[in-house]
């Protein structure tokens, strides 16, 4: 399941020389069917995080006290954490 997304991104970025953002926005929807949610750190720009989804929810929150970014499928999960 999630491994197929990682492998698809690796092929598109490494073997086909796509930029990560293009692999996510054009490649994943073309080659992956079904619901998914993911995040990827751009190796060319490690300060950039790409979040993507198709059908599954993705909620993000930032805790400035801890300096932590929380990601989950619902706000309630983040609140409980």
pTM of the model: 0.76
The distance from CA 80 to its chain's CA centroid, rounded to whole angstroms, is 22
* Residue 71 CA from chain centroid, whole number: 10
Could you write out the three-class secondary structure of the chain?
CHHHHHHHHHHHHHHCCCCHHHHHHHHHHHHCCCCEEEEEEECCEEEEEEEEEEECCCEEEEECCCCEEEEECCHHHHHHC
What pLDDT score does 1 carry?
66
Q: What is the mean pLDDT of each run of 10 residues along the chain (81 residues)?
A: 90 95 95 90 90 90 93 92 84
């Amino acid at each position: 399941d999630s491994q197929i997304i990682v492998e698809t991104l690796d092929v598109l970025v490494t073997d086909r020389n796509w930029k990560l953002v293009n692999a996510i926005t054009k490649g994943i929807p073309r080659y992956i069917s079904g619901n998914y949610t993911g995040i990827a750190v751009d190796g060319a720009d490690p300060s950039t995080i790409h979040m993507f989804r198709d059908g599954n929810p993705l909620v993000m929150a930032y805790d400035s006290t801890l300096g932590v970014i929380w990601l989950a499928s619902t706000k309630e999960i983040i609140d409980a954490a």
